[in-house]
Amino acid sequence: MSVKNIRLEVMQFLEKNIDAFVDQYLIPVEDIWQPSDLLPDSRSETFFEDVKELREIAKELPYDFWVVLVGDTITEEALPTYESWLMDVEGVNQVDEGGNGWSKWVRSWTGEENRHGDLLNKYLYLSGRVNMREIEMTTQHLINDGFDIGTGRDPYKNFVYTSFQELATYVSHNRVSQIAKKFGDKKLSKLCKLIAGDEMRHHHAYSEFVHRIFQVDPSEMMLAFQYMMKQKIVMPAHFLRESGEKISTAFELFSDSAQRIGVYTATDYIDIMQKLIDKWDISKITGLTDEAEKARDFLMKLPARMAKISERLVIPAESHIFKWVEPATLR
């Protein structure tokens, strides 16, 4: 049987548990927080006073913080790209008979994720510290430009990617929450922490999918894991650009800001890799082919190798002045 057909069989095997996965890792619409729960209520008589308070507290947040918050928001708002990509993964069918279990998962996951960009966008608009039109143009460019995360339609590689990326997003939102709290913005801290909580749940889901694949197709899963780590995980916003600029020209500058304030660093990347190696307990997986054994050896040694390389990284001390965040330089 071909590798592709085996993957389809494994996806069908896992699909039998989709309803249980949805119940365990996602929260019913009526029970989960919504963006309006965390923002000034426009129906309230105190709305304008609440917005004024939000804007006053926002003035205390530093420049690189705003760059990162804007970049995180744009990344979340490019959700149409991520949903369409996952809907095209082998084993996901959104057409026949109203869609299969995997398309139900993708839609339900998308519904939860959609709240993140919605909430952050509204907060940025109310803060008065950013250029919303520039942010909106960057978001539209990012959706137009799409992305290529190197997985193709392979479900094994895609689940490695989402396991990694959801944990990386948790780290980023959680650090932003901590910084906001440090500067006295407790409400912004709370909303970022809630978003981070969603991302952690989603990480647990996708990493469970990988764990179960390791149980039934260990060699191919190991090779997929090695492939993704060898080529490196690219961030969803790797094509980030400002208005009038070429594709991908803003991503490294955004990443520099994130590293400067400790929101997401090269060390975090390596830590996440190690966490996945430990979570899937790959050192104890049996029944591997010779090729998969070599892949495991590569993976076990990779974090230490990357740690040595990361020690040589130099982050520019000066911040790039983004079109998105110019007003944040004003007092």
Q: Which of 15, 64, 72, 76 is catalytic?
A: 76
Q: Is 173 a catalytic residue?
A: no
113 is in an annotated binding site: yes
Q: Which of 72, 185, 198, 268 is catalytic?
A: 198
Q: Which of 77, 199, 220, 268 is catalytic?
A: 199
112 is in an annotated binding site: no
199 is in an annotated binding site: yes
Q: Is 116 a catalytic residue?
A: yes
Q: Do 259 and 265 touch, CB atoms closer than 8 A?
A: yes
Say if residue 297 is exposed, middle or buried (CB neighbours under 10 Å; 0-12, 13-18, 19+).
exposed
320 is in an annotated binding site: no
Q: Is 110 a catalytic residue?
A: no
Q: Is 202 a catalytic residue?
A: yes
Q: Is 199 a catalytic residue?
A: yes
Q: Which of 15, 72, 166, 268 is catalytic?
A: 166
Q: Which of 15, 64, 77, 116 is catalytic?
A: 116
Q: Is 169 a catalytic residue?
A: yes
203 is in an annotated binding site: no
Q: Is 320 a catalytic residue?
A: no
Q: Is 185 a catalytic residue?
A: no
DSSP string, 72-115: HHHHHHTHHHHHHHHHTSTT--SSGGG--HHHHHHHHHHHHHHH
Q: Which of 64, 75, 134, 202 is catalytic?
A: 202
DSSP string, 109-178: HHHHHHHHHHHHHHHHHHH--S-HHHHHHHHHHHHHH----S-TT-HHHHHHHHHHHHHHHHHHHHHHHH
- CA proximity to 275, closest of 229, 212, 223, 227: 229
Q: Which of 72, 113, 242, 268 is catalytic?
A: 113
166 is in an annotated binding site: yes
Binding residues: 76, 113, 116, 166, 199, 202
Binding-site residue numbers for Fe cation are 76, 113, 116, 166, 199, 202
Which residues are marked as active site? Answer: 33, 76, 113, 116, 166, 169, 198-199, 202
